[in-house]
Amino acid sequence: MKKTILVIEDDEDILESIATLLTLHNFSVRGIVQTTDIISVIINLKPDLVLTDYILPGLNGGQICQMIKRNVLTSKIPVILMSAYHKQAINIGNFGYDAYLPKPFENKKLISLIVKLLE
Amino acid sequence: MHISLKRNLQVGYGFSLIALLIVSVISYLSVNGMLKSGKLVENSYGVISKTDSIVTLMKDAEASQYGYLLTNKIEFLKLYNNSEKKVMVLLRETEYLIADHQMGVMTFSKIKAVIKGRLSVIKLAITNRQIVDTLSKDQVIAGMIAMQTLNSLVVQALSGEKLLLQERLLAYETFSKSILTIIIISAAVAFAISVASYTKVTSTITDLEALRKILFIKEQETTGLNEKLSAANEAITSANIELLNNNTELANSRNRLIALTNNLANQVNSRTEELALSESRFRLILQVLPQIAWTNTPEGDVDFYNQKWFSYTGMGFDETKNQGWQKVIHPDDLDFNIQCFKTIIESEEQGEFEIRERRYDGDYRCHLVKMAPLKNEEGDVQMWVGTATDIEDIKQLQRQKDDFINITSHELKTPLTSLKSTIQLIEAMQGNLTEKHLSTLIVRAGKGVNKLAYLIDELLYIGKVNEGQLNLNMERVNLMDIIRDSCSGISMATEFQINIIGDENFGVLVDPDRIEQVVINLVNNAVKYAPLSEVIDINFQAHGSYALVQVTDYGPGIPEDKLPFLFDRYYRVQMGGSQHSGLGIGLYISSEIIKKHGGVIGVNSELGRGSTFWFTFPIS
C-alpha cells in the first residue's frame, strides 16, 4: 500500500515539483497551500508523513509541527520542516520536528529522508 | 672674685682708716689735754719757784738795803741792784705764767704792788741814806711790815697756786692714765685692724694666688684653645672663602633659578591659558556633539554631562551625577552596563558596549556607549570621556537590512527550489518522459527562471532608487488603461473580485510603467495581507489638479502603531507570527515612484474593517 505524504507549501511551483517527485517514487501525495483547519485535515487524511514549508500564510510550519506533535491522534506522524531560510535566521527553535530540510534541496536527499523516517 | 676682693679691701681699709682716725682724734685730744695739763703744772711749778725766788730776792734786797743803810757800803747796793732787776724780771715772768688764773692774777697784782711799793721805799731809803746817811726805825718797821705783808701774800698766793697745782696734777694724771689706755686701745685696735687686714689680704692674696694659678692654667688652656681657635679660624677663614665662593655660585644659581622660575611661571600661565582654552574648546565640542557625552573622574564618577544628556534624559545634574546615571539604564541592562564600565575603567583602555537608555518620554532606546581615557605623559588616567549614541534607528535599520537580506535570500531560493527540483526530475526521468510531461516540467522551470529574473530586476531597481537614479519616462496616457493592465494578471491568478471605478477618459501625464508597478504592488499587497477580503476596490478621480487613486481591501486592517513605518525601506508587517512572501520593498519603491512624480502616498486603515492605500500625482 502506498504511503501518503501531506505536503504543505504555498508556492505552487514547488508544490507541484515535490508532488511530481514523490509520485514518481510511488508515494501518494496530498498537497495544500492553505493552513486553515490544518489539524482537522491531518486527522481526516491520516498521512504517513508531513512535509511542510516554514513560511506560510497564516500559521507557520513550526506552529503546525507543534500542533501535530501535541495531538495524540497525530503525534506519531513524522514531520519534515523545510525552508529557504537558514535555521538561525528564522530562529526555528524546538518545535518537535523530525528533520529539517533547507531549500533548495537535492531530490535524492528528500526521498532518502522520507524513506528513513517511514521505516 | 675680683669685685669681691676689691670690695673687701675697700671695706677693710675703710674701717681701718675710720678706726685710726677715731683713735688719732682721741689720742690727739688726750695728748693735747695732757700737754696742756703738763704746761699748766709746769706753769704752777714756775709760779711757785719764781714766787719763792721773788721772796728770796726781796729778802736779799731788804737785807742788802739794810746792810747799805747800816754800813753805807756800796757792796750791799750791788746785791740790791741785782735783786731789783731780777725781781722785776721774775715779776714779769710770773705775771705771764698766771695770766690764765684769775685768782692768781689778783693775788699776784697785790704781791706786785707790795713789791713795787717796798722797792720804791727801799730805793727811797737808799737815796735818802746817800743824802742823810740815816736809818730810821720807822723805816725798819715799815720794812718789816712790808715784808710780812709780802710773806702773807706770798703764802696766800702759793697756797692758791699749790691748790691749783694739785688740780692740775690730778688732771695731768687723769690724762696720763687715760692716754695710756687710749694708746693701748688704739694700738690694739690698730693691731687688730692690721691683723684683720693682713689676714684678709693674705687670704685674698692666697685666693689671688690660687686664682692666678687657675688663671695660669686657664691661660695655658686659653693658649691651647687660642691655637686651636687660630687653626679653627684659619679653617673658618678658608671655609668662609669657600662659602663666599659658594654663595656667589649660589647667588648665580638663584638668579638662574629665578629666571627659570619666571620662565616656568610664564610657561605655566601660558600653558594654563592654553589649557583653559583647550578645556573650553573641549567642553564646547562635547556640548555641540549630537550624542550624549560626559566625563568621569579617574575613579569613574561622573563630573560633567553635555546638554544633550539633560535634554535626552529630562533629568538634572544633581539627579544623575556620580552614580545617578544608573537610573537611566534599562533595569535588564544595568548589571551588564556596570560590568562593562568596570572592565573598561580597570583596563584603562578605551572600550564600548551597547545598552538601552531611557529617553525623557520613558522610551528605552539602544545606545552605543564608548569610553576613552585621557592620559598624561606618564600614562596615568586623568579623566574619562564617554559618549552614548542613540543607535536605535540604526539598529532598527540594521535589523531591517538583515531581514531584507534573509528575505531576499529566501525569495531567491524559493523559485530556485522548484527550478532545481524540476531540472533534477528531468535528469532522473530521461527517456521515460512523455512529451506532455517534459513540456510541463520545462514550463515550470521557465516560471522559476522568470521569478528569479523578476526578483533580480526588483533588487536592481531598489538599488537605483537607493542611489537616487530613478528616472521617469513621462507619457500622456489614459489612467483607466493603466489600472486595468495592472489588474489583468492578478485577476486571473486569484479568486478576488477587483472593482475599478473611475473616469474612462481620465488622461494623465505619468511614467505608465512605474504607475502600473505601484498599482500592481498595492493590489498584490491586498491579495497577500487580506486573503479573506474577496473584494478589492480601485477608485480614481481628479482632486484639484491632482489625480487620486485608492486601493481598498476589506481584510483585518493594520495596527495604528505600524502605519507610520509602512513606507519605510525594508519594513514588513508581521501579524500572528505568519510571514508573507516577497521582498517587502514594494511600498518603499511605490513611495519613491510617487514622490518622483510629485505626489503623495498614504494609507487609512481600521482594524477588522480593512485598509485603503492611496496615492496622488499631478494630472499634468
Q: Say if CB B320 and CB B313 are below 8 A apart.
A: yes
Burial class of residue A72 in the structure, from the number of CB atoms within 10 Å of its CB (0-12 exposed, 13-18 middle, 19+ buried): exposed
Residue B492: its pLDDT value, please? 63
- Count of C-beta atoms within a 10 Å radius of residue B142: 16
Q: Which sign does the torsion angle of CA B42, B44, B48, B53 carry?
A: positive
What are the φ/ψ torsions at residue B461 (nearest 5 degrees)?
A: -65, -45
pLDDT at site B603: 95
Would an 8 Å CB–CB cutoff place B544 in contact with chain A? Answer: no
* pLDDT tens digits, one per residue of B172-202: 888 777 777 777 877 787 777 777 777 877 7
Stretch (H or E) spanning B612: strand B610-618
Confidence category of residue B371, pLDDT binned at 50, 70, 90:
very high
Q: Which residue did the predictor score with more confidence, B616 or B36?
A: B616
What percent of chain A is modeled with pLDDT above 70? 96
* C-beta separation of A31 from B434 below 8 A: no
Which residues on A lie below 8 Å from B417 (Cβ)?
A: 11, 14, 17, 84, 103-105
For residue B294, the surrounding DSSP H or E stretch is strand B292-296
B548 vs A: CB within 8 A = no
CA distance B447 to chain A (A): 8
> Mean of the pLDDT values across residues B572-588?
64
Mark out the alpha helices in B467-511 (DSSP H runs): 479-493
pLDDT of A30 reads 95
Quick check: A92 pLDDT over 70?
Answer: no
DSSP assignment of B91-121, as one string? HHHHHHHTTT-HHHHHHHHHHHHHHHHHHHH
Q: How far apart are CA B352 and CA A116, in angstroms?
A: 50
pLDDT at residue B576 in the model: 41
Query: Cell numbers at residue B426, please?
Result: 528531468
CB contact under 8 A, B414 and A59: no
The distance of Cα B391 from the centroid of its chain, to the nearest Å, equals: 53
pLDDT of the residue at B43:
79
For the cut 70, the answer to whether the pLDDT of residue B539 exceeds it is yes
Task: Please report residues of A whose CB lies closer than 8 A to that of B581.
Answer: 10-11, 55
CB–CB of A30/A47 below 8 Å? Answer: yes
DSSP state at residue B322: B
CB B175 within 8 Å of CB B33: yes
Residues of B in contact with A63 (CB under 8 A): 577
CA atoms within 13 Å, Cβ hemisphere of B410: 25
Cross-chain CB nearest to A103 (options B414, B444, B528): B414
Subunit contact B410:A85, Cβ cutoff 8 A: yes
The proportion of chain B whose per-residue pLDDT surpasses 90, expressed as a percent, equals 27
| pLDDT at B575 (0 to 100) | 43
Q: Which domain holds residue A62?
A: 4-118
Nearest to B577 among A60, A105, A106 (CB): A60
Q: For residue range B433-483, what is the model confidence (pLDDT) as tens digits?
A: 888 888 888 888 888 898 888 888 888 888 888 788 888 899 999 999 999
pLDDT band at B579 (very low <50, low <70, confident <90, very high): low
CATH label of the domain that carries residue A43 = 3.40.50.2300
A87, A107, A110, A112, best to mutate vs chain B, most B CBs in 10 Å? A107
The closest CB to that of B578, out of A56, A103, A107, belongs to: A56
**pLDDT > 90: percent of chain A:** 66
Residues B491-520 have a mean pLDDT of 88
pLDDT digits (tens, 9 = 90+) for B266-308: 888 888 888 888 888 888 888 888 899 999 999 888 888 999 9
CB B578 within 8 A of CB B456: no
What are B55's three cell numbers? 721772796
Average pLDDT, chain B: 84
Stretch A41-66: mean pLDDT? 91
Instruction: Tell me the C-alpha to C-alpha distance, in Å, between residue B566 and each of B296, B383, B401, B597.
Output: 42, 45, 15, 19
- Rounded Cα distance between A7 and A21, Å, is 12
Residue in B408, B414, B524 to test binding to A, most A beta-carbons within 10 Å:
B414
- Residue B5 confidence (pLDDT): 61
Residue B1 has pLDDT above 50, yes or no: no
- pLDDT of A49 > 90? The answer is yes
The number of folded domains in chain A is: 1
Tell me whether strands B535-543 and B546-553 are parallel, antiparallel or unpaired.
Answer: antiparallel
Confidence of residue B537 (pLDDT cuts 50, 70, 90): very high
Grid cell of B526 as nine digits: 491586498
Note whether B365 and B356 are within 8 A (CB): yes
The pLDDT value recorded for residue A105 is 94
Mean pLDDT of the region B244-258: 85
pLDDT, residue B572, reads 64
Range of weakest confidence among B115-119, B589-593, B610-614: B115-119
Please give, one letter per residue, the 3-state secondary structure of A64-111: HHHHHHHCCCCCCCCEEEEECCCHHHHCCCCCCCCEEEECCCCHHHHH
Residue carrying the nine cell digits 505601484: B518
Read off the pLDDT of each residue in B364-372 and give the average, rounded to a whole number.
94
Confidence (pLDDT) at B493: 63
The chain B residue lying nearest A22, using CA atoms, is B425
Instruction: State whether ipTM is beyond 0.90.
Output: no
